[in-house]
Amino acid sequence: MGDNTAKNQVFDVSVNVLQRGNSKFFDDDGRPKRTGTVWTASAHIITAVIGSGVLSLAWAIAQLGWIAGPAVMLLFSFVTYYTSTLLAACYRSGDPVNGKRNYTYMDAVRSNLGGVKVKICGVAQYLNLFGVAIGYTIASSISMMAIKKSNCFHSSGGKKNPCRMNSNPYMIAFGIAQIIFSQIPDFDQLWWLYILAAVMSFTYSSIGLGLAIAKVAENGTIKGSLTGISIGTVTQTQKIWRSFQALGDIAFAYSYSMILIEIQDTIRSPPSESKTMKRASFVSAVVITVPYMLCGCMGYAAFGDMSPGNLLTGFGFYNPYWLLDIANAAIVIHLVAEYQVYCQPLFAFIEKQAASTYPDSQFINKDIKVPIPGFRPYNLNLFRLVWRTVFVIMTTVISMMLPFFNDVVGILGALEFWPLTVYFPVEMYIAQEKIPKWSTRWVCLQTISMACLVITIAATVGSIAGGVQDLKSYKPFQTTY
């Protein structure tokens, strides 16, 4: 223990000397100068948020109707933006400009709350990141199969079920791509992939919106009702469960708080990281909500009670088939990047824990320089290679066993929303700002938290009920589409 303390003191002195001599290249914590801006942070957020979840919003609004559907979406948008500003204020402990940095969500919880809440946060955050990887693997395979199915439909002359296919090869192909991209060591080295993904997300969202508008024009009427899917199309019990599941789907579409601190840690200063992140959160909230509302509402207007669970793969649309192919290809490219956005914080956490537990292990800590002609040598780390590969294989195998897009999305959204998007940001902000218990501000913050807890419980129950129904009729490894 004494040796470690001495080493830390020597390291701190070295860092201070390094900072004084090279302040142009290093930040106040001795790490390489951060270069992120409000625009790169917004790109990270938009990439993380506008994903496959947007395609389930028409189905979600169909369960809730024209009044509750858009209202719930606006509510989730506001709550997510507001609590993200609270969380952004917790990046530094104490002084917002010069205080101690919290590099991860868990670090922020440790600095502001401590105790058992740190472990609870870690379990909630990293289990959810693991689940998101599964959800994205499922979504990517559905889009890849949709490309093949639309081409089969076109070549068969309009028969609606010309193809039968297995989803497993598509999940395996996605997994192989993720094994490769997962070997990129650091979060900030993937910025180019995230910008590409942001472009792809707007591409398929725009196509889905355009096709929905065309469908409304073709129908000559706006479908749907004020209260959502009608009894008769579903039973009373199914109506209740589906309404709850819709809350989970909408929550999933807005979830990104679990990686907000990690995104904020890429931002340069001045101005303060908190100020920049709040601006990025506002820009992102506006940019995200507009296509969400348009895609969800126009999809419901086009299909009414029959709105598909996935707007571009549920085959409410069959033509033009080439445009559907472009949209689904854009989804796959986007999901390749989004998988990394969510998994990189988990990768970093495991590798940091392994390095601190086994500091003398060559397998864990040694980098092997691999020369690449025309580029800088690649630092190959054997532990990173093995553990990240095993992680991707695990998520792929589980995805092959549970290919239920809407159910997985609903459960993930429900389980992430309250603890990570609402509870911890509210509690950390109260602790950091020293807000008196039972003051007006404290009561308002706690009221928001409790209301969101009720929504989370309802969404979880509804999504699990939907999953149980699907499991009854499912045979693992025999999925056809």
Output 462 or 65, whichever has higher pLDDT. 65
Structure tokens at 99: 């205080």
Output 43 or 402, whichever has higher pLDDT. 43
The pLDDT of residue 442 is 92
Q: Using CA of residue 301, residue 302, residue 306, residue 312, what is the dihedral sign?
A: negative
Closest CA to 258 of 138, 154, 150, 132: 132
- Across the range 251-255, mean pLDDT stands at 74
Of the chain, the percentage scoring pLDDT greater than 70 comes to: 81
Structure tokens at 251: 């929550």
Look-up: residue for tokens 């895609």? Answer: 295
The pLDDT of residue 391 is 92
Cα(457)–Cα(469) distance, integer angstroms: 19
E strands along 13-81, which residues? Answer: none
Tell me the CATH architecture of domain 29-349+380-473: Up-down Bundle (1.20)
Contact status, residue 51 vs residue 281, Cβ threshold 8 Å: no
For 266-312, give the DSSP string.
TB--SS-HHHHHHHHHHHHHHHHHHHHHHHHHHHHHHHGGG--SSTT
pLDDT over threshold 90, residue 443: yes
Gyration radius of the chain over CA positions: 23
pLDDT over threshold 50, residue 14: no
168-199 pLDDT, tens per residue? Answer: 888 999 999 999 888 877 655 666 766 777 78
Identify the band that residue 127 occupies on the pLDDT scale cut at 50, 70 and 90: confident
Contact status, residue 93 vs residue 99, Cβ threshold 8 Å: yes
Output 436 or 199, whichever has higher pLDDT. 436
Closest CA to 452 of 276, 319, 255: 255
* Paired strand residues for 100: 93
Instruction: Note if the bond before 270 is cis, omega within 30 degrees.
Output: yes
Look-up: residue for tokens 């988990």? Answer: 346
User: Residue 268, exposed/middle/buried by CB under 10 A (0-12, 13-18, 19+)?
Assistant: middle
31-54 pLDDT, tens per residue? Answer: 777 778 888 888 778 766 766 667
Q: What is the pTM of this model?
A: 0.74
pLDDT over threshold 80, residue 473: no
Helix %, strand %, coil % for the chain, to 5?
70, 5, 25
The pLDDT of residue 9 is 44
The pLDDT of residue 66 is 92
258-315 pLDDT, tens per residue? Answer: 778 888 888 887 888 888 888 888 888 888 888 888 888 888 888 888 887 777 765 5
CB-hemisphere CA count at 13 Å for 236?
A: 0
Output 409 or 268, whichever has higher pLDDT. 268
203-221 pLDDT, tens per residue? Answer: 887 888 888 888 888 888 8
66-109 pLDDT, tens per residue? Answer: 998 899 889 888 888 898 889 888 888 877 777 888 888 888 88
Cα(250)–Cα(295) distance, integer angstroms: 12
- Across the range 324-335, mean pLDDT stands at 84
- Across the range 356-383, mean pLDDT stands at 80
The pLDDT of residue 354 is 87
Identify the band that residue 404 occupies on the pLDDT scale cut at 50, 70 and 90: low
The pLDDT of residue 162 is 55
The three-class DSSP label of residue 231 is strand
